[in-house]
Amino acid sequence: MPATDFDAEREYDDDQFSARGVFESDHMKVVCGYFEPGQFIPVHAPGSDVAVHVREGTGVVREGDTEHEVEPGDVVVVPADVDRGVKADEGGKLEALLVTAPPPTDAEHDPVREGLRRGVFDPEAEPAADD
């Protein structure tokens, strides 16, 4: 069984959130997520459940139409096929453990790639920064 900790996996990226894979099988994927202030995982709705546990920092976890303000120790679970996204507050970094079951497919992450490309948290609701 893999064993690690947030300090060993910590890697930030100036351009977008960093997801450090800890474990993946056909049934589950576990990543440590590292967000600079304002960085995000764009809203998307894959066919997998996700549990987000905030370790450090503050931000928002989207669950459908609800935005949960989160802080260290909070856990938000979003069922499969429901919009979800994670965004760090502008004032500081955010670290979270994300567990998805089963792992999303590559195609299900197309909205994530599109949101990152356009620089928008909710690709279906927000115009691109340069629109």
Q: How confident is the model at residue 130 (pLDDT cuts 50, 70, 90)?
A: low
The answer to whether 94 and 41 are in contact (CB under 8 A) is no
Residue 123 resides in a domain: no
Residue 106 resides in a domain: yes
Residue 127 resides in a domain: no
Read off the pTM.
Answer: 0.90
- Please give the tally of structural domains in the chain: 1
Q: What angle do CA 81, 20, 56 make, to 5 degrees?
A: 85
Query: If we measure between CA atoms, which residue out of 74, 70, 30 comes closest to residue 50?
Result: 30
Q: Rounded to a whole number, what is the distance in angstroms from the first to the last CA of the chain? A: 47
CATH of the domain at 84: 2.60.120.10
Provide the total of helices (H) and of strands (E) in the chain, helices listed first: 2, 9
pLDDT at 3: 81
Residue 129 resides in a domain: no
Kindly tell me if the per-residue pLDDT of 128 is higher than 80.
no
Q: Which domain holds residue 105?
A: 13-118
| Average pLDDT of the residues in 105-114 | 91
Residue 38 resides in a domain: yes
Q: Which helix (H) or strand (E) holds 80?
A: none
Residue 47 resides in a domain: yes
Residue 65 resides in a domain: yes
| Average pLDDT of the residues in 113-121 | 93
Query: If we measure between CA atoms, which residue out of 87, 3, 5 comes closest to residue 42?
Result: 87
Kindly tell me if the per-residue pLDDT of 129 is higher than 80.
no
pLDDT tens sequence across 5-51: 888 889 899 999 999 999 999 999 999 999 999 999 999 999 999 99
Query: Cα–Cα distance between 93 and 55 in angstroms, integer?
Result: 11
Kindly tell me if the per-residue pLDDT of 1 is higher than 80.
no
Residue 4 resides in a domain: no
pLDDT at 5: 82
pLDDT tens sequence across 77-108: 999 999 999 999 999 999 999 999 999 999 99
Q: Could you tell me which residue, 129 or 23, shows the higher pLDDT? A: 23
